[in-house]
Amino acid sequence: MISTMGLLQSWGGLGTSIASFIFMWDMIRRYCPPELIRASDKWTRRIRSFFYPFIQISISEFMSNNLKPHDAYAAVEAYLSVHLAKKAKRLRAETVHGGGKLVLSMDEHERVTDEFRGAKIEWISGKIVQRESKYLPDVERKYYKVTFHKKYRDMVTDTYLEHVIKTGKEIQMRNRKRKLYTNGHNKTTWSHIVFEHPATFDSLAMEAEKKREIVDDLLIFRESKDFYARIGKSWKRGYLLYGPPGTGKSTMIAAMANLLDYDVYDLELTSVRDNTELRRLLAETSSKSIIVIEDIDCSLDLTGQRKKKQEKPPEEKTSKNKKEVPRKETEESGSRVTLSGLLNFIDGLWSACSGERIIVFTTNYVDKLDPALTRRGRMDKHIELSYCSFEGFKVLAKNYLLLDEHPLFEPIEMLMKETNIIPADVAENLMPSSPKEDAGKCLMKLIEALKQAKELMIKKGKEESADKELPEIKEDAHVLQEIEDSIDKV
């Protein structure tokens, strides 16, 4: 009993001493000159570092000002999830490849120890919450902290961390999920979903020679890092896809992403407030990505001011118009992105900020675009996606009906030489409407669609100029009769 009382008294005295020390330390920091406090902190750190022989390195989730994700953080996370997750007691599970596999990684404030060349290296995962403004929600910033003895400093900084990053990136490539990003409506940053589009160049309704040319161009670009560095250009390439609606421009982009294993950034220009925000969005894109602006001729009136200046007669340029019209157009527009800002986005100083990248424009009306957008060096390769050819039809027949040959292919080939039809319409007619519908019925649906399109062309020709088109119309009618005869034989 006496010993217990003595123990309690000693603990009480220790608590009183600690409280007194805290009170005195608070008084010292409050009333001492700031210079003396800074000097004291400096010497305290030196003394602590002398007796504490460990070094810490932090790797944050984001780089400065939250502009860009830190590639090293993602690589470290991948490395730890494979090599050290089994040693951790608190784990976080995530899915990859559409939910087919679970990957375990360290949970927050968990620590594990790695061994490398006889050195013990400790990893700690953490998170800090920062409030950037009282009007904005709190921002979470994750980090990893690596701790090691100072005698291993050179080995860790020169060899171990390089090993971790290299191994982590290899793991990332094995477990990688391609992503489809969008800036959405009224969003100032990117959001994403898993990109699972199945399109490949083998499934594209296009001539084989043209596909090989595009594939070769893409593969050469992917392996040309040293070439672009030698010639002093940013590692990027521009593709302009143009042609009527339904000719496969979006499918072509998906096939490019699947071939190169790149992420896709679908940029909605009308949701970008100004050129500054456009540059910030560009800075947040990752390397190995395709930045897409679809229907660029409809996104913004990027050539409107030039045309107005050229077409407006001098007598209409009153002082009232000079003051009111430009201001009104600016106020009514949801975006203040200019042609100059977009050109700088494509190949200006900011275009080299994210490494390996492809920029793709699509349009239905290439003649509407400003020549500054489409010139070589910005859009390096122009690809026309036009009406479906017979070779493209055979690709679709293989995809939809598993057919390489069929007796009805001959009349279809004859009709396709005389008729313009987009690949989307061909695919729609080849799609079986029920499990009982066989390949012959699907091909007959396509033949009927082609015949209707041909008859419309004949009718249109008659309406435009009966005298001029009469010999050609008779020839067309003869072709239709030949097609009917070949179908009857089948």
Please list the residues that pair with 182 across neighbouring strands.
191, 266
Dihedral (CA of 158, 164, 166, 167) sign? positive
- Residues 256 and 132 reside in one and the same domain: no
Query: Confidence class of residue 393 from pLDDT cuts 50, 70 and 90?
Result: very high
Of 176, 200, 235, which one is at a domain's C-terminal end? Answer: 176
pLDDT of residue 289: 92
Residue 3 lies inside a defined structural domain of this protein: no
Range of the domain at 452: 400-463
Q: Which residues of 395-406 are buried (b: 16+ CB within 10 A; e: fewer)?
A: bbbeebbebeee
> Any idea what the Cα angle at residue 216 is, between residues 285 and 400, rounded to 5°?
90
Of 323, 351, 384, which one is at a domain's C-terminal end? Answer: 384
- Residues 373 and 283 reside in one and the same domain: yes
pLDDT of residue 199: 93
Is pLDDT at 333 greater than 50 in this prediction? no
Please tell me which of 16-20, 85-89, 236-240, 324-328 the model is most confident about, judged by mean pLDDT: 236-240
Task: Share the mean pLDDT of the chain.
Answer: 79
- Residues 91 and 227 reside in one and the same domain: no
Number of domains in the chain: 3
Please tell me which of 226-235, 252-261, 468-477 the model is most confident about, judged by mean pLDDT: 252-261
Residue 470 lies inside a defined structural domain of this protein: no
**pLDDT above 90 coverage of the chain, percent:** 29
State the average pLDDT over residues 391-404.
93
Please report where in the chains the tokens 């290899």 appear, as a residue.
170
- Residues 364 and 448 reside in one and the same domain: no
* pTM for this predicted structure: 0.67
- Residues 370 and 432 reside in one and the same domain: no
Token pair for 450: 């082609």
**pLDDT above 70 coverage of the chain, percent:** 74
Alpha helices in 274-422 (DSSP H): 275-283, 296-299, 304-311, 319-332, 339-347, 371-374, 390-401, 409-418
For residue 264, what is the domain's CATH number?
3.40.50.300
Q: In angstroms, rounded to a whole number, what is the distance separating the alpha carbons of residues 396 and 431? A: 10
Residue 327 lies inside a defined structural domain of this protein: no
State the average pLDDT over residues 331-356.
74
pLDDT of residue 308: 47
- Residues 251 and 218 reside in one and the same domain: yes
Task: Return the closest-CA partner of residue 272 out of 250, 286, 291, 253.
Answer: 291
20 vs 136, residue with greater confidence: 20
pLDDT of residue 324: 42
- Residues 235 and 340 reside in one and the same domain: yes
Tens digits of per-residue pLDDT, 191-212?
888 898 999 999 999 999 999 9
- Residues 284 and 204 reside in one and the same domain: yes
Q: Are 180 and 195 spatial neighbours (Cβ–Cβ below 8 Å)?
A: yes
Is pLDDT at 437 greater than 70 in this prediction? yes
Residue 225 lies inside a defined structural domain of this protein: yes
Residue 343 lies inside a defined structural domain of this protein: yes
pLDDT of residue 331: 45
- Residues 255 and 216 reside in one and the same domain: yes
Residue 12 lies inside a defined structural domain of this protein: no
- Residues 286 and 223 reside in one and the same domain: yes
Residue 216 lies inside a defined structural domain of this protein: yes
Residue 320 lies inside a defined structural domain of this protein: no
pLDDT of residue 98: 47
- Residues 127 and 249 reside in one and the same domain: no
- Residues 412 and 346 reside in one and the same domain: no
